[in-house]
C-alpha cells in the first residue's frame, strides 16, 4: 500500500497528543502512586463523567470496532448480536454490581478474587478466580494490538522497516506504540487510560457521526445498502422442525456475553475505580450511548459490502493480510478525505491503547493481590505491592506484544473466544457470592472446574472456530453459546455439592463480610 | 454486628429490568425485514430502538431507588 502522507501526519499528531496526556495524567487528582488502590484504581475517585469515558473506552474496544462490522461484512445478521448483548448488560450491572463496589470499598478489595477470598475464606477458590481472570484477559490485550496493526497497515506505513544498524524489524510501529503505552501506564496507572479515554471517545463519536451521515448518502441510502447485501444473510435463517439454528445461537451469545462481561478483570477495575455506587447506577443508565455507536459501527460492515471494497485492487493487500477485519479500514479509506482518515484511524488506534492499559493494570492487580501477596510475600508493605503491580503490568504487555508478533493472529482470536467461556465460570463465586455465602467454596471450585472442562471441550469439538456448540434435546438441535451451557453445568454442580457438603460437614461459613458491607 | 440492617426488600419496580431480556432473547419476534425504516430492515432498527427503550426502563428504576435512599 502507498503511504498516505496527510493521514499519517494527522494520525501521528493525535498519537503524540495522547502520549503527553498519558504522562501528565500522573499529576491529575494527585494521589500517592505507591499505593495499589491509587495506581491500580485511580484512588477510587472517578465520578460519573470520568467513569463514563473510562468504561466506554474500556468495554467498547478497538477490536470490537474492527471485528463486529467484519462479521456483518462476512456473515451478515449474526454479527449484530453485539447490540442485544450491550443492551442486556446494563440492567444486570445496575442490579448486581453496586453491591460489589460497596463491599470492595468497605473491605479494601481491589479485585473480584479479593472479594471471593473474603466472602468464602478459601484461598484456593480465590486463586482460581484470579488465574481465570488473567488467562482470559491476556489474549484480549493481544487482540487490541491486532486492531492497531490493521489501521497502521491501512495508513500505508511500512510495518517491517529496515533500520540503520539493526536491520529489518518486524511490526516496528506496533512495538513503538506499545512501548510508549507501557511506559506511561507504569508511570501514571489507571489515571492514564482514564484521561486518554476522553480524547478517544470524542474522536470516535466524531468518526461515527460523520460515517453514518456521509457514507449512506454516497451509497444512495440504506435501501440500496441493504439491497446490495446477500438476501440470505440480511436476517437470520428461520428455525426448522429439527433445529433452532442461528436464532438460538444469536440469543445465547447475547445472554452469555452479557453475563461474562463484568466478570472480566478490566471491567471490574473500571467499576471499582468509581467514587460511589451511585456512579455505577448512573453509568448503567448513560453507557448505552456507546451501544448506539456500536450499532452504527456494526452497520459499517454492511456498508462496506455495498461499497464493494473487497473487489477493489487497491485494498487487496489489506484483505489478504487481515481478512474481513480490513473491511472498515478499507471503507474509511475509500469514503473519506485523507485528513479525516487520520482522525478515524487515530480513534481506532487510541481506542486500542485505553483497554490495553486497563487490562494490563487489572491483570497486575490480580497477580499482585491474589498470587504475590497471598502466596509469595504475605508481609509485603504497600509500596512494594504497588511496585510489583507496575512491573507486572509491563510484563503482561510485553507478553501480548510477543504473542502478536510471533504467532499468527488466529491464535489470539481463538484464545479470546475461549476467554468468554472461562471467565463466565467465575459467576457463581462472584455474582452469587454477592447475595449469599450458602455455597461451599470447594463445591464452587468443583463447579468451576466442571464448567471450564465442559466449555473448553465444546470449543475443542468445534476446532476452536466457533463458540456455539449444538446441543441436542430429544432430536431438536439447539445451537448454544458454550459459555452459557457450561455455566449451567457449573451452577448445577456447585449447588448440588454445596447442598451435600453443608448437610454432611456442617462447617459454618467463614465469611469476613457482613450484610451491611453490601449496602 | 450491632445494627444488622433490614433484610433486602424485594422491590417490584426492579422487575422492569427483566423487560429488555424478554424482548431481546425472543429472537423470532424481530427476525424479519419488513417493516423497513428508511431502508433499514426491521431486524436492525428494532434492536437499535431497544437501546433507547432499555434506558427508558432503567430511568424509573433509578429514580425509585434514589428516592428510597438506597
Closest chain A residue to B54 measured between Cα atoms? A87
| End-to-end alpha carbon distance in chain B | 20
Question: Can you spell out the DSSP letters for B2-48?
Answer: -SPPPPPPP-GGGGGGGHHHHHHH-GGGT---PSPBTTB-HHHHHHH
SS3 for A274?
Answer: strand
Q: Cβ atoms within 10 A of the Cβ of A60, count?
A: 25
Q: Considering CB atoms only, which of A77, A91, A515 is closest to B43? A: A77
A147 closest CA partner among A165, A174, A121: A174
Tell me whether residues A84 and B50 touch, CB distance under 8 A: yes
Where b means 16+ CB within 10 Å and e means fewer, A86-119 reads bbbbbbbbbeebbbbbbbbbeeebbbbbbbbbbb
B40 closest CA partner among A303, A308, A334: A303
**What's residue B58's pLDDT?**
94
Place of cell 462479521: A71
**What's residue B1's pLDDT?**
43
Question: Measured in whole angstroms, how far is the alpha carbon of residue A250 from the centre of its chain?
Answer: 19
**What's residue A88's pLDDT?**
96
| Residue contacts between A and B (CB atoms, under 8 Å) | 114
Rounded to the nearest 5 degrees, what angle is found at the Cα of A227, between the Cα atoms of A224 and A233? Answer: 140
**What's residue B7's pLDDT?**
52
Place of cell 496507572: A189
Side-chain half-sphere CA neighbours of A408 within 13 A: 6
| Interface with chain A: mutation pick from B28, B42, B48, highest number of A CBs within 10 Å | B48
Tell me whether residues B59 and A285 touch, CB distance under 8 A: yes
Place of cell 445451537: A479
Q: How far apart are the C-alpha atoms of A240 and A10, rounded to whole Å?
A: 52
Using CB atoms within 10 Å of the CB of residue A236, give its burial: 0 to 12 exposed, 13 to 18 middle, 19+ buried. Answer: buried
Does residue A263 contact residue A420 with C-beta atoms inside 8 Å?
A: no
Long-range own/partner contacts, residues A163-170 (CB < 8 A, 24 or more apart)? A170/A405
How close A233 gets to chain B, by Cα (Å)?
Answer: 11
Any A CB within 8 A of B20 CB = yes
**What's residue B23's pLDDT?**
95
Whether B3 has a pLDDT exceeding 50, the answer reads no
SS3 for B8?
Answer: coil
Domain assignments of chain B as residue spans, ordered by start? 12-67
**What's residue A29's pLDDT?**
74
Complex-level ipTM? 0.89
pTM of the model: 0.92
Question: Measured in whole angstroms, how far is the alpha carbon of residue A121 from the centre of its chain?
Answer: 29
Q: How far apart are the C-alpha atoms of A50 and B66, rounded to whole Å?
A: 21
Average pLDDT over residues B35-60: 94
Architecture of domain A5-424: Up-down Bundle (1.20)
Cell triple for A197: 479515554
Rounded to the nearest 5 degrees, what angle is found at the Cα of A294, between the Cα atoms of A291 and A296? Answer: 115
Q: Considering CB atoms only, which of B8, B26, B31 is closest to A236? A: B31
Q: How far apart are the C-alpha atoms of A81 and A258, rounded to whole Å?
A: 11
**What's residue B8's pLDDT?**
57
Q: What are the residue ranges in chain A where pLDDT is below 70?
A: 1
Place of cell 423497513: B36
What would you report as the CA-atom Rg of chain B, rounded to the nearest whole angstrom? Answer: 18
Any A CB within 8 A of B34 CB = no
Tell me whether residues B48 and A83 touch, CB distance under 8 A: yes
Cα–Cα separations (whole angstroms), residue A366 to A129, A314, A351, B56 = 9, 45, 23, 36
Closest chain B residue to A92 measured between Cα atoms? B17
How close A251 gets to chain B, by Cα (Å)?
Answer: 5
Tell me whether residues B58 and A519 touch, CB distance under 8 A: no
**Is the peptide bond between B35 and the residue preceding it cis, with omega within 30 degrees of 0?**
yes
Where b means 16+ CB within 10 Å and e means fewer, A414-431 reads bbbbbbbbbbbbbbbbbb
Amino acid at each position: 500500500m502507498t503511504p498516505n502522507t496527510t493521514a499519517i501526519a494527522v494520525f501521528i499528531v493525535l498519537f503524540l497528543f495522547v502520549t503527553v496526556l498519558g504522562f501528565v495524567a500522573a499529576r491529575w487528582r494527585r494521589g500517592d502512586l505507591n499505593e495499589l488502590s491509587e495506581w491500580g484504581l485511580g484512588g477510587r475517585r472517578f465520578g460519573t463523567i470520568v467513569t463514563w469515558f473510562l468504561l466506554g473506552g474500556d468495554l467498547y474496544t478497538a477490536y470490537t470496532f474492527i471485528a463486529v462490522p467484519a462479521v456483518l461484512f462476512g456473515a451478515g445478521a449474526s454479527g449484530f448480536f453485539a447490540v442485544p448483548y450491550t443492551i442486556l448488560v446494563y440492567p444486570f450491572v445496575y442490579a448486581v454490581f453496586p453491591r460489589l463496589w460497596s463491599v470492595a470499598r468497605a473491605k479494601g478489595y481491589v479485585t473480584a478474587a479479593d472479594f471471593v477470598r473474603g466472602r468464602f475464606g478459601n484461598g484456593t477458590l480465590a486463586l482460581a478466580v484470579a488465574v481465570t481472570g488473567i488467562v482470559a484477559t491476556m489474549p484480549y490485550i493481544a487482540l487490541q494490538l491486532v486492531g492497531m496493526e490493521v489501521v497502521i497497515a491501512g495508513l500505508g506505513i511500512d510495518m517491517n522497516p529496515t533500520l540503520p544498524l539493526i536491520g529489518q524489524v518486524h511490526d516496528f510501529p506496533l512495538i513503538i506504540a506499545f512501548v510508549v503505552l507501557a511506559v506511561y501506564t507504569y508511570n501514571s496507572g489507571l489515571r492514564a487510560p482514564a484521561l486518554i479515554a476522553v480524547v478517544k471517545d470524542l474522536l470516535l463519536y466524531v468518526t461515527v457521526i460523520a460515517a453514518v451521515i456521509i457514507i449512506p448518502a454516497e451509497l444512495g441510502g440504506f435501501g440500496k445498502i441493504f439491497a446490495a447485501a446477500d438476501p440470505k444473510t440480511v436476517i437470520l435463517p428461520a428455525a426448522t422442525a429439527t433445529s433452532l439454528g442461528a436464532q438460538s445461537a444469536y440469543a445465547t451469545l447475547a445472554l452469555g456475553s452479557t453475563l461474562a462481561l463484568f466478570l472480566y478483570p478490566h471491567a471490574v477495575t473500571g467499576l471499582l475505580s468509581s467514587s460511589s455506587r451511585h456512579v455505577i447506577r448512573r453509568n448503567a443508565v448513560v453507557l448505552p450511548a456507546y451501544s448506539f455507536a456500536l450499532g452504527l459501527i456494526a452497520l459499517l460492515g454492511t456498508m462496506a459490502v455495498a461499497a464493494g471494497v473487497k473487489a477493489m485492487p487497491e485494498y487487496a493487500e489489506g484483505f489478504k493480510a487481515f481478512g474481513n477485519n480490513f473491511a472498515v479500514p478499507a471503507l474509511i479509506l475509500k469514503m473519506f478525505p485523507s485528513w479525516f482518515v487520520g482522525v478515524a484511524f487515530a480513534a481506532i488506534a487510541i481506542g486500542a491503547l485505553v483497554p490495553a492499559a486497563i487490562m494490563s493494570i487489572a491483570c497486575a492487580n490480580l497477580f499482585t493481590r491474589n498470587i504475590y501477596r497471598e502466596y509469595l510475600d504475605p508481609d509485603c508493605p504497600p509500596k512494594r505491592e504497588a511496585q510489583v503491580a507496575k512491573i507486572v503490568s509491563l510484563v503482561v504487555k510485553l507478553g501480548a506484544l510477543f504473542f502478536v508478533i510471533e504467532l499468527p493472529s488466529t491464535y489470539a482470536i481463538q484464545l479470546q473466544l475461549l476467554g468468554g467461556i472461562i471467565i463466565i465460570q467465575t459467576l457463581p463465586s462472584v455474582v452469587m457470592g454477592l447475595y449469599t455465602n450458602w455455597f461451599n467454596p470447594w463445591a464452587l471450585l468443583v463447579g468451576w472446574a466442571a464448567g471450564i472442562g465442559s466449555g473448553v471441550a465444546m470449543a475443542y469439538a468445534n476446532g476452536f472456530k466457533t463458540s456455539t456448540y449444538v446441543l441436542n434435546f430429544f432430536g431438536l438441535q439447539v445451537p448454544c453459546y458454550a459459555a452459557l451451557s457450561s455455566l449451567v453445568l457449573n451452577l448445577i454442580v456447585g449447588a448440588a455439592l454445596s447442598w451435600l457438603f453443608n448437610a454432611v460437614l456442617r462447617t459454618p461459613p467463614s465469611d469476613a463480610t457482613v450484610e451491611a458491607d453490601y449496602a | 454486628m450491632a445494627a444488622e440492617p433490614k433484610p433486602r426488600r424485594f422491590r417490584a419496580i426492579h422487575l422492569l429490568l427483566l423487560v429488555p431480556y424478554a424482548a431481546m432473547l425472543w429472537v423470532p419476534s424481530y427476525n424479519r425485514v419488513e417493516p423497513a425504516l428508511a431502508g433499514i430492515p426491521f431486524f436492525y432498527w428494532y434492536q437499535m430502538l431497544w437501546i433507547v427503550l432499555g434506558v427508558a426502563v432503567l430511568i424509573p428504576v433509578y429514580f425509585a431507588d434514589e428516592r428510597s435512599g438506597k
